[in-house]
Structure 1
């Protein structure tokens, strides 16, 4: 059975994609979300092989006639991917999709004439699927300072390092935060619902931009709302959107990406394969989050850092807990995670600088860490009750107010900290090659932390302040 929190987020993401029936995979295990009734294949000969194989093997089982197995479009795009319908997506519920699973089995090794994988699920690439309550922001006390604090330095228009943040858009009042004075990009489309309450994940891209600007003041930051307001997009669309973004803005020095998905495989995502191969030919460094499911399962695109040929092009980043000594309970881990940075209870810009904005928690904290950790992790502290967790229950969700800065946790935020450190290194050394800067920074770094018994590289900004990890004393 998938964790309750994953199901809560499944429901929320499904509401944000009302025209896309979604399933939980693999086989209801709660590792990722994907589009029902559809598989992905590369355009051309490989798509034809997939269609022919599906027709031969299980059209009757899937409830389709042979002529109903067809391309769901588009047939030609920059990412080189075709959606192929293999079942009626209206059948069944979200607990897996047997027709898609059968299509994957029918095209398992040996994989046709190409010698490579022919077919894959159409996954949801998201900032949202996180089994830990740390993925909701927390108000900070009046007068709180950002953490990491703003580093010394100034913005130089002619020499600033270009950082592209692919995420949700910028909040309307982001320019009220001085560190974001030189930031540009897409606006958040709908910040609040009809009730005036801030929507979940709104402000995610703004928070990330604030972290980059704090660690590396001499940056030109562009934020693109590629992930839409809900922070989720289908894999089949994601690769194309990435191409559109770099076509629009040019290839940046550093691309900061705080989203992804697992897929149960070790060879990447079909939907972003073309973009990743093009990235490898560019000079851009992709800094990508390792994900927040406390798992060693590869999380893509971050896990490309462990694939041959991508070692210089991708840096995968996990999260350290508040004291910086160990990995955060929620952080994914494994040999494919190449660096860790502070990612628990960071403080950056959110919204409400001009007018305070209310927010209602969607998920409840737990009595104990859901991963068995003994420190004051974000699974259980600070306590709050969420609307999705209490549907049909007797609890009342907690409402808070945001007035500018917020505290937030996740590998989503460790990632821009690491990206900012590389950008700051480029500025300090007059280094114009971001991949060379990454190597120099990692080679010179002596900081280490412990993650699951292993010593790992820790990228810790000088302006970051550790936060207590002991549980607070009970009220008397």
Structure 2
């Protein structure tokens, strides 16, 4: 376990323009000081209203970041609330620039460090094709092997299959035997490579390998899926709301993602969804399914974007896969739960400086690790949806079937149980 106060101090020391805000007692959030995000059509009006504090603006994909003069000491949360308006309907689409965090580690939550694990065999599609085969995108998936087998036994034609693309917005992807020979990885390898030791202290950054691990969980459930990575978190697991919005806007323009996995999130200053982020999610369209982790604060406080009504929020099951993992968030806004404790998946290759203990090197990784967190429950659900969609369904149809409470067990405040 971690001393969370120490972790928060380290985060604030590393990100010196970050501050903790607590407009609602006992409900803190992290934001970038002197920054507000504005949706494009509202920029002129917002600029006019903040002109006395205005410093500069930065155009991003799908959003504009307004920077305010630091000496003015503007409370950007209060300003965003005033610009947005009171009540259910907002006037301007404005938000502070919240920090987002990968989940297993968050400054008020628990989870653990990744631990070296023995190698796993490469995920196999229904026809026995490994995910490392560049033709695997047209093969079946582990989640639908039974369907194909039944059809064959009955002499019926197997259902038509299709390629399913899952976007993973995270820390990036490191090379791994499970997918490094695929065409989809070759197309993006250089632009998404993870940064493992950004501070050059000969130790892995706190969440280095997070994206690689998530891709492995996804492929274990849907070996034929095509992964489209986008780096929005640093190796410390910290990123900005604005970077997530930019990535979502890019995906909306690209238009080829069936499913988006977001194993990250934050609490907002007012416990309401960021209207700017909500707009970016809506721009993906109704044919794209968004899956997000519920967070690791052991709380029912809404965690965004998972708590958004158009997003599938995924909590973590415990090691027995029968109840909530103690660290997992929960609540009315959670849609599903999946295994999230001691998950084994693909990871980076790295040998750190920590000494051997009882004959075990705690930071010598050979491409596989065990890790816990709602971060790893989310891609299990995304993979289940991708596997079913590969049989010819749309992602939305597949999600409806996977999350159908009439066909699966449920748990209060955890939603539909996805155990496989």
Is TM more than 0.5 here? Answer: yes
Matched ranges for 1:73-472 at <5 A: 73-74=57-58, 76-85=59-68, 87-88=70-71, 99-104=75-80, 106=82, 109-110=85-86, 115-116=90-91, 119-127=94-102, 128-140=105-117, 142=118, 145=120, 152-153=126-127, 154=129, 156-158=136-138, 159-171=162-174, 174-176=175-177, 178=178, 181-182=181-182, 184=185, 185=188, 186-192=191-197, 193-247=199-253, 250-265=255-270, 267-279=272-284, 281-304=285-308, 306=309, 310=310, 314-352=311-349, 356-358=350-352, 400-427=363-390, 429-431=391-393, 433-443=394-404, 446-448=407-409, 450=411, 454=413, 456-461=415-420
Greater relative contact order, per chain length (Cα 8 Å cut-off, separation 6+): 2
Instruction: Give the direction of change, closer, same or farther, for the CA distance of 1:252–1:42 in structure 2 (3 Å limit).
Output: closer
Q: TM-score, structure 2 length as denominator?
A: 0.78
Measured in 2, the distance between the counterparts of 1:289 and 1:359 equals 31
Unaligned runs of 5+ in 1: 55-65, 92-97, 362-383, 385-397, 462-476
What is the root-mean-square deviation of aligned Cα atoms in Å? 3.5
Q: Is the 8 A contact 2:314 2:378 kept in 1?
A: yes
How many residue pairs get aligned? The number is: 378
Q: Is the 8 A contact 2:294 2:306 kept in 1?
A: yes
Post-superposition offset of 1:257:
1.0
Secondary structure, aligned partner of 1:443: coil
Q: TM-score, structure 1 length as denominator?
A: 0.69
Return 39-48 or 116-125, whichever deviates more: 39-48
Q: Is the 8 A contact 1:131 1:330 kept in 2?
A: no
Unaligned runs of 5+ in 2: 139-161
Secondary structure, aligned partner of 1:25: strand
Post-superposition offset of 1:125:
1.6
Measured in 2, the distance between the counterparts of 1:325 and 1:30 equals 29
